[in-house]
Amino acid sequence: MTRTDLHQEQEDSAMAVTQAETTVLPVIPLRDTVVFPNMAVPLRIGRQQSRAALDAALAGNRQVVLIAEKDSQGQDVKTESLFAVGTLAEVGQIWRMPDGDVQAVLHGTARARVVEFTQQEPYLEARVEAVSEAAPSSIEVEALMRTVLSQFETYVALGKSLPQEAVPAARNIDEPGRLADAIAFSPDFTFEQREELLETFDPLERLRRIALWLGKQVELLEIGSRIQSEVQRGVEKSQREYYLREQLKAIQRELGEGDPEAAVVSQLREKVEGAGMPDDVKERTLREVERLAQLPAASPEVAVIRNYVDWLLALPWSNLTPDNIDLKEAARVLDEDHYGLRTVKERILEYMAVRKLAGEKMRSPILCFVGPPGVGKTSLGRSIARALGRKFVRMSLGGIRDEAEIRGHRRTYVGALPGRVVQGMRNAGTRNPVFMLDEIDKVGADFRGDPTAALLEVLDPEQNFSFSDHYLEVPFDLSKVIFITTANVLDTIPPALRDRMEVIAIPGYTEEEKVRIAKGFLLPRQLTAHGLSAEQLRLTDGSLHKIVREYTKEAGVRNVEREVAAIARKVARQIADGSAKSKVVREKDVESYLGPSRFAFGAAEERDEVGVATGVAWTPVGGDLITVEVTTMEGKPDLILTGQLGEVMRESARAALSYTRSRAAQLGIPSGFFENHAIHVHVPAGAVPKDGPSAGITMATALVSALTGRAVRRDVAMTGEITLRGRVLPIGGLKEKMLAAQSAGIKTFLMPGQNRKDLAEIPAQVKKGLEIVPVDHVEQVLEIALLGRFGRGEKAA
Ligand code: ADP
């Protein structure tokens, strides 16, 4: 709203205003301030011009006009730079200052409109008319006054610029115009706002404007205080803790308990001294403790350092259990825990004997137990620890792809921890435990780094006396640890690691062995675990055989243990609820406990068939039967291989075919047969990994059978690699393969002649019931496996 509009409005509202007569009065110009009627204001008057005006007033009736300058700059004020509305005032008390200035109290009496300026020198003088205003009263005025008063109250409460007494003072004003004037004098209103209000002659309008401005002020103050309190809350939280901590300290000091932080630090120092650390480690740790002492308790670094120091303190730097190598006792422990495993136990005892003789000087080789799951690798490790009186810890390496899992993360990472080796040592609590690293064949390398290098350092006796973990930063001595590793297969162990280890193979158990283990070890253990006595639950040999044969299919005894546990659980329940006193589980009862049998005993073919031969394969979980099927179709010559065969097995199939072709005439295969027939070789059963050369003779047998129409004896199983000239080459995993053949009900087992030497190591149990025939040439295989005579009455050459 411009000033001109204002004047317009004032004229419009002239109803409320009565015009007074004009008078000529001295003018005191005001710099940056406005004086309202009904207000006493002390003014310091310094300018010559103003002092002259004041003197003139004092000489007359003490009346002056106070008019604000539009912009106050120069010493002498020109009439043009003054507003057209001012305030009539009476001069009250005056003081003359030593510097010549005058201090005067001026009482505003009424608004005054300038009619004309009558003089400029020696002081300003103007003809003015006083504007007297009637006090309007109506519901609206009342309501507006209340609103303004309550706004003002909030404003005073929130703002800092006015004392609380301003509120009752304002309440005492009963004229709307005066109320507006009084509030406009609050420090938060600007000079321009005040001048605008001075020039507004309608009291109601003044009040409206004040209401508007107050509203804005209150809003500003509210936002301000909200921001403030939010900031405050944030600050308070962190300060609160600080104050509380300080208070706690003060209280404890008062009670004579000393500074708690200092106490913690000195406790830590003591612990470090007593931790048996090597000197350099101790020094390092103490340095960290000192850093801790210097940091304020609230520093985020404190937790990091604390954690680090705690780790250092928790490690068994000097804690050793004495070795008690009594070989007789060790043998007893091994026998007590395990059935059979004669050669394995002997190797372990030899290992201990060497340790005993060589003592500390000996760098212990790393034992590696290789065999299918559940054959007792872990429990052998435990027994070794028990026999030596050492602690036992184990850690699985399966799926580890990151060096940091072994060696830890640097402390700079958030949440960093030492690697698993150091964690294992902490769990062991001694520096010379038996430390089992499981599944070393499942360690992998990828972009996150190769854990093999770290493992090598762990296992290498030349290096592991100062194993470095990224987190610890100080070396840890692993040289007193007996490391034992386990693996399912040898070939996937990184060669560098394999070279360091002494491999002990544990191939798997025969049915008879499993029954013995179940009876002598697994059942007693499950009885104890279920709170049963040997009288309360008995399993006959028959039932155990049935469990092994029809409910499990594995090289080890894990599932046997699980099934025995299932029976124990059910019997324990029957005994607990009183429905039985004791149970004898016979062969015929097994089904009622475990449900229908899961594996058909004797997976051998049911009939003698053409084009189908049975082989035995070795898998990481023991031996298994595989079937090779061959069929021929008229058409373009082709060799189709299916059944997800590995590359070596495919080559083996091609070799078998080439051999058969080269001997076509002798074998009685019609000439020209291969030119117009496609041959399909299929190996069913998807789950069994099918690779390796040992199915060579099985493929050749199936091929010849398909091409000649002679059936293959179903009770014959075979294994052996084939050369192009039909020679049979040796294979691995003989014991597992025989076990598989035996439990499948095979009668005749054909194996490479060159594997004869391995037979000595195979227990009689495994050989029982099998006619084992070593063969050196495929012709021998065909002779035994194929029924009937060769096509044209010829015998294979
Ligand atoms: P692995 O580590 O080879 O997978 P475990 O050591 O876990 O096998 O053996 C599985 C279970 O079978 C354990 O309870 C173990 O005690 C038992 N066990 C395995 N072999 C034998 C054995 N020869 N004599 C007694 N218990 C055995």
Band (pLDDT 50/70/90 cuts) for residue 600 is low
Q: What is the mean pLDDT of residues 75-85?
A: 84
Q: How far is Cα 481 from Cα 464, in angstroms, rounded to an integer? A: 9
Q: How far is Cα 72 from Cα 32, in angstroms, rounded to an integer? A: 7
pLDDT at 750 over 90: yes
pLDDT in tens, 319-368: 888 887 888 988 999 999 999 888 889 988 888 888 888 766 666 678 89
pLDDT at 688 over 70: no
Nearest to 408 by CA among 470, 341, 350: 470
Helices 191-199, 3-12: crossing angle, 10 deg rounding: 30
What pLDDT sits at residue 603? 54
Find where tokens 């030492």 sit.
Answer: 418
Residue 120 in tokens: 């400029």
Band (pLDDT 50/70/90 cuts) for residue 13 is very low
User: Computed over its alpha carbons, how large is the radius of gyration of the chain?
Assistant: 53
List 512's β-bridge partners, or say none: none
Find where tokens 């400029």 sit.
Answer: 120
Beta carbons within 8 Å of 538's beta carbon, 6+ residues apart: 582, 583, 584, 585
Ligand 1 centroid to residue 694 C-alpha, Å: 29
Contact 484, 367 (CB under 8 A): yes
Residue 373 CA: which ligand 1 atom is closest?
4
Ligand 1 centroid to residue 440 C-alpha, Å: 18
Give the three-state DSSP class for 194.
helix
Cα–Cα distances (Å) from 515 to 168, 548, 556, 766, in that order, read 102, 7, 11, 14
What pLDDT sits at residue 15? 42
Question: What does the mean pLDDT of the chain come to?
Answer: 85
Residue 341 CA: which ligand 1 atom is closest?
23
List 116's β-bridge partners, or say none: 127
Residue 560 CA: which ligand 1 atom is closest?
12
What pLDDT sits at residue 784? 92
User: Which of 246-255, 521-530, 781-790 bottoms out in mean pLDDT, i.e. has the lowest?
Assistant: 246-255
Ligand 1 centroid to residue 338 C-alpha, Å: 8
Q: Which residue has the higher pLDDT, 235 or 652?
A: 652
Residue 337 CA: which ligand 1 atom is closest?
25
pLDDT in tens, 409-458: 888 877 788 999 999 999 999 998 999 999 888 887 666 667 888 888 88
What pLDDT sits at residue 716? 93
Contact 222, 209 (CB under 8 A): no
Which of 348, 377, 521 gets mutated to test ligand 1 (max ligand atoms within 8 A of its CB)?
521
How many alpha carbons lie under 13 Å from residue 72 in its C-beta half-sphere?
A: 12
Contact 777, 744 (CB under 8 A): no
**Which residue has a Cα nearest atom 24 of ligand 1?**
338
**Which residue has a Cα nearest atom 22 of ligand 1?**
338
Helices (H), 317-467: 327-337, 342-358, 377-388, 403-407, 420-428, 451-459
Beta carbons within 8 Å of 720's beta carbon, 6+ residues apart: 694, 696, 697, 728, 729, 730, 731, 750, 751, 752, 775, 781
Ligand 1 centroid to residue 603 C-alpha, Å: 26
The alpha carbon of 345 is separated from its chain's Cα centroid by a whole number of angstroms, namely 42
What DSSP line would sit under 195-260, residue for residue? Answer: HHHHH---HHHHHHHHHHHHHHHHHHHHHHHHHHHHHHHHHHHHHHHHHHHHHHHHHHHHTT---H
Given its phi and psi angles, is residue 270 left (phi above 0), alpha (psi -120 to 50 degrees) or beta? alpha
Nearest to 180 by CA among 164, 192, 196: 196
Nearest to 405 by CA among 500, 460, 471, 347: 471
Residue 369 CA: which ligand 1 atom is closest?
3
Contact 83, 32 (CB under 8 A): no
Give the three-state DSSP class for 71.
coil
What pLDDT sits at residue 1? 44
Residue 213 in tokens: 């401005």
Q: How far is Cα 774 from Cα 793, in angstroms, rounded to an integer? A: 26
Q: What is the mean pLDDT of residues 245-265?
A: 73
What pLDDT sits at residue 797? 34
What pLDDT sits at residue 9? 46
Give the three-state DSSP class for 455.
helix
**Which residue has a Cα nearest atom 25 of ligand 1?**
338
Q: How far is Cα 797 from Cα 782, in angstroms, rounded to an integer? A: 11
Q: How far is Cα 271 from Cα 252, in angstroms, rounded to an integer? A: 23
pLDDT at 463 over 60: yes
Cα–Cα distances (Å) from 363 to 235, 464, 482, in that order, read 61, 11, 10
The alpha carbon of 238 is separated from its chain's Cα centroid by a whole number of angstroms, namely 28
**Which residue has a Cα nearest atom 15 of ligand 1?**
376
What's the N-to-C CA distance of the chain in angstroms?
125
Nearest to 298 by CA among 227, 207, 366, 237: 237
Q: How far is Cα 585 from Cα 532, in angstroms, rounded to an integer? A: 14
**Which residue has a Cα nearest atom 10 of ligand 1?**
374
**Which residue has a Cα nearest atom 17 of ligand 1?**
376
Ligand 1 centroid to residue 511 C-alpha, Å: 15
pLDDT in tens, 119-166: 888 899 999 998 888 777 788 888 889 999 999 998 888 887 888 888
Q: What is the mean pLDDT of residues 230-234?
A: 76
**Which residue has a Cα nearest atom 27 of ligand 1?**
376
Contact 66, 114 (CB under 8 A): no
Ligand 1 centroid to residue 72 C-alpha, Å: 103
Which of 335, 336, 339, 379 gets mutated to test ligand 1 (max ligand atoms within 8 A of its CB)?
379
Helix, strand counts (H, E) of the chain: 29, 26
Band (pLDDT 50/70/90 cuts) for residue 111 is very high
Give the three-state DSSP class for 688.
coil
pLDDT in tens, 357-405: 876 666 667 889 988 888 999 999 999 999 888 999 999 888 788 888 8
Q: Which residue has the higher pLDDT, 438 or 671?
A: 438
pTM of the model: 0.57
Ligand 1 centroid to residue 503 C-alpha, Å: 18
Q: How far is Cα 548 from Cα 539, in angstroms, rounded to an integer? A: 12
Q: What is the mean pLDDT of residues 264-271?
A: 85
What pLDDT sits at residue 423? 93
Find where tokens 């007033």 sit.
Answer: 57
Band (pLDDT 50/70/90 cuts) for residue 14 is very low
Which of 386, 506, 557 gets mutated to test ligand 1 (max ligand atoms within 8 A of its CB)?
557
Q: What is the mean pLDDT of residues 224-238?
A: 78
Beta carbons within 8 Å of 345's beta carbon, 6+ residues apart: 331, 334, 335, 338
Bridge-based pairing state of the strands 125-133 and 501-505: unpaired
Contact 693, 649 (CB under 8 A): yes
Please, what is the Cα angle at 662 between 658 and 665, to 5 degrees?
Answer: 135
Active site residues: 694, 737
Give the three-state DSSP class for 755.
helix
User: CA 280, 286, 288, 289: dihedral to nearest 10 degrees?
Assistant: 160
Contact 429, 385 (CB under 8 A): no
Bridge-based pairing state of the strands 40-45 and 771-775: unpaired
List 442's β-bridge partners, or say none: none
Pocket around ligand 1 at a 6 A CB cut-off = 338-341, 373-379, 517, 521, 556-558, 561
Ligand 1 centroid to residue 506 C-alpha, Å: 11
Residue 663 in tokens: 């001997």
Look at the chain and count its residues.
797
What pLDDT sits at residue 343? 85
pLDDT at 791 over 50: no
